């Protein structure tokens, strides 16, 4: 070891053996806000860095209205600079570089260009403050848009109970998230509606409105509060049942407006349960009440009986004393079938990006089935979202198809837990923009398989028939069972056989919900 070190020392002293290191001329420019496409707020700053190799000279030039820290004018020759921007809009920052020789223009360039001067333009987007203008309209009974509402505090626009209004907004400053908070409304919150939103009011009283438009980066928000925006008055129109569903373990009858709890009588209601085994049960009702939060919902509690997702449950009401708070009697209800509310999505407790908010297209890779199964296009899009800000955009090419999985950045399958013998509702929201030309051929569809141990015979989810709704979010689901307990991953398949045009759709909020089964 000592001999080797001595040899090195001797060679280093010999000028004839000095090693000349030649530095490549390579352009590399960085900015502090590159991840958001150099977008900042008014008065914000961006750091610019020229970390190129082989630089002989450089000149940064800033636009009017921008300042460079430490410089008197709008130019600088420094390698790292900080710039402030005070005028909204798009602005060009240019960099002129002179290299010591022929230069590699990009980080991944393998050969240099025949020249040593490069000019680069960096576009900086400066956003103004977020501001919003709200409008609201009455909706007529036929669904058409009626008169405009007053959006001032204490306007108390009069609305008859169970009627609808339509809300719209226009926002400046490029916000990406929108939330309506609607006291007394149904729903009471709407997130990222993507346009006009329809709201129903069932509760008598005066109600406030709030609208929030925001963006994450660069951060900003605008909040509009309107006090006593709506005044809901009693109605003389018939009260109707909007749906029969479950609320936790009880049966919930949702009426079109608030009900008078003092008029309830459990003997006026009846429930029948048909089990998968063929039995018909007629449980007694132990208690009937108005929901503590939603006064238009009547809750039925059964005496010693539990309802399960695989039951067929029917509810009847024989007219008695039941009436609304505004004095209108409830009509007869005969064998109204209960539709279960969706349970907890087990994907929420996994790494699966079920709402397409955190993943990239690369996290939904092609599974290499070959043939038509690679004839598709996939992207994460912000053009439509059933919830949140993003969804998956799919195009199945003519006579094409798709097969994709879901993996992390390291290429590992992202999984979710399942149990054999249990029933699950596998769901998805889709927004179809184009069905192509089916022409009586094979119906395009989407199917959610899994690995390992999939059931290749599962139903389409959904089948994209020629009468499928266009331009609206539609929920689709199918009931599945898993052969073995354990962790499984998605294999999502689309098909477009016999179609001379592409099928185009968005996909969002995929779900897997465990269903209860009667023992």
* Per-block mean pLDDT, blocks of 10 residues, the chain (519 long): 30 45 80 93 95 94 94 95 95 96 85 92 95 96 95 96 95 92 93 87 94 92 97 92 95 95 97 96 98 94 95 96 93 96 94 96 96 96 88 96 97 97 95 87 93 96 94 94 96 93 96 93
Dihedral sign for Cα 71, 75, 80, 86, please.
Answer: positive
Q: Are 107 and 28 in contact (CB under 8 A)?
A: yes
d(CA 380, CA 390): 7
Size of the chain, expressed as the number of residues it contains: 519
Confidence at residue 79, expressed as pLDDT on a 0 to 100 scale: 96
Name the helix (H) or strand (E) containing 7.
helix 2-13
Q: What is the pTM of this model?
A: 0.66
Alpha-carbon distance of 338 to 335, in angstroms, equals 9
Which CATH superfamily, name and number, covers 346-514?
Answer: Galactose-binding domain-like (2.60.120.260)
pLDDT at residue number 56? 94
Look at residue 22 in the predicted model and tell me its pLDDT.
Answer: 53
- Domain boundaries along the sequence of the chain: 29-127, 131-233, 251-337, 346-514
Quick one: 71 exposed, middle or buried, by C-beta within 10 A (0-12, 13-18, 19+)? Answer: middle
Return the H-helix or E-strand segment holding 3: helix 2-13
Helices then strands, each counted (H, E), the chain: 1, 36
Please determine whether the domains at 251-337 and 346-514 fall in the same fold group of CATH.
no
The three-state DSSP-derived secondary structure of 233-257 is ECCCCCECEEEEEEECCEEEEEECC
**Dihedrals φ, ψ of 385, to 5°?**
-155, 130
Give residue 10's pLDDT: 30
The candidate with the shortest Cα–Cα distance to 420, out of 446, 455, 448, is 455
Residues 6+ away with beta carbon under 8 Å from 509: 354, 355, 386, 387, 427, 428, 429
In CATH, the number for domain 131-233 is 2.60.40.10
120/115 Cα distance (integer angstroms):
15
Q: Please answer whether residues 56 and 49 qualify as being in contact, where contact means their C-beta atoms are separated by less than 8 angstroms.
A: no
Contact at 8 Å (CB) between 203 and 182? no
Residue-wise pLDDT tens digits, 32-52 = 999 889 999 999 999 999 999
Cα(198)–Cα(230) distance, rounded to whole angstroms?
14
The C-alpha angle with vertex 436 and arms to 498 and 196, in degrees rounded to 5, equals 150
d(CA 211, CA 226): 9
422 CB burial (10 A radius; 0-12, 13-18, 19+):
middle
In sequence order, the β-bridge partners of residue 290 are 298
Whether omega before 452 lies within 30 degrees of 0, making that bond cis, reads yes
- Residue 23: per-residue pLDDT: 66
Secondary-structure percent of the chain, ordered helix, strand, coil, rounded to 5: 5, 50, 45
Give the class (CATH, top level) of 29-127.
mainly beta
- Note the pLDDT tens digit of each residue in 359-391: 999 999 999 999 999 999 999 998 888 888 899
Domain formed by 251-337, architecture: Sandwich (2.60)
Which residue carries 């509060």 as its tokens?
A: 225
**Contact between 343 and 515 (Cβ < 8 Å):** yes
């Amino acid at each position: 070891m000592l001999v080797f070190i001595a040899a090195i020392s001797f060679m280093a002293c010999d000028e004839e053996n000095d090693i000349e290191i030649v530095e490549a001329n390579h352009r590399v420019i960085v900015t502090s806000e590159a991840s958001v496409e150099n977008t900042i707020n008014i008065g914000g700053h961006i750091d610019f860095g020229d970390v190129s190799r082989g630089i002989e000279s450089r000149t940064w030039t800033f636009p009017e209205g921008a300042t460079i820290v430490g410089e008197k004018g709008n130019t600088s020759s420094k390698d790292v600079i900080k710039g402030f921007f005070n005028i909204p809009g798009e602005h060009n920052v240019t960099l002129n570089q002179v290299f010591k020789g022929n230069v590699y223009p990009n980080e991944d360039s393998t050969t240099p260009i025949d020249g040593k001067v490069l000019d680069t333009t960096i576009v900086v987007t400066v956003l103004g403050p977020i501001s919003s203008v709200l409008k609201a309209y009455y909706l007529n009974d036929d669904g058409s848009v009626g008169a405009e509402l007053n959006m001032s505090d204490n306007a108390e626009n009069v609305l008859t109970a169970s009627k609808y209004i339509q809300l719209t907004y226009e926002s400046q400053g490029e916000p990406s998230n929108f939330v309506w908070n609607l006291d007394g409304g149904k729903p009471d919150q709407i997130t990222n509606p993507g346009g006009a939103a329809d709201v129903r009011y069932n509760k008598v009283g005066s109600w406030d409105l709030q609208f929030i438009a925001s963006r994450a980066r660069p951060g900003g928000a605008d909040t509009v509060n309107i006090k006593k925006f709506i005044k809901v008055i009693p109605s003389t129109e018939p009260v109707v049942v909007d749906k029969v569903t479950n609320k936790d373990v009880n049966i919930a009858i949702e009426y079109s407006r608030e009900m008078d709890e003092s008029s309830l009588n459990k003997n006026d209601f009846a429930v029948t349960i048909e089990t998968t085994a063929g039995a018909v049960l007629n449980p007694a009702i132990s208690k009937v009440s108005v929901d503590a939060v939603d006064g238009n919902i009547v809750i039925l509690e059964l005496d010693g009986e539990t309802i399960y997702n695989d039951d067929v449950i029917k509810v009847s009401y024989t007219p008695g004393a039941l009436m609304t708070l505004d004095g209108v009697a409830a009509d007869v209800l005969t064998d109204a079938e209960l539709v279960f509310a969706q349970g907890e999505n087990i994907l929420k407790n996994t790494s699966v990006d079920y709402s397409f908010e955190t993943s990239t297209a690369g996290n939904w890779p092609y599974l290499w089935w070959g043939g038509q199964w690679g004839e598709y296009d996939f992207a994460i899009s912000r053009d439509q979202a059933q919830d949140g800000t993003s969804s998956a955009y799919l195009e199945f090419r003519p006579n094409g198809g798709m097969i994709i999985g879901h993996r992390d950045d390291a290429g590992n399958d992202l999984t979710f837990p399942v149990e054999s013998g249990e029933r699950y509702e596998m769901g998805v929201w889709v927004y179809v923009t184009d069905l192509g030309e089916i022409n009586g051929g094979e119906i395009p569809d989407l199917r959610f398989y899994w690995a390992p141990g999939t059931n290749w015979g599962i139903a389409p989810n959904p089948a994209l028939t020629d009468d499928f709704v266009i331009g609206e979010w539609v929920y689709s689901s199918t009931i599945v069972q898993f052969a073995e307990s354990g962790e499984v991953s998605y294999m999502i398949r689309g098909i477009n056989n016999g179609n001379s045009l592409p099928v185009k759709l968005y996909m969002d909020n995929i779900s897997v919900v465990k269903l209860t089964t009667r023992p």
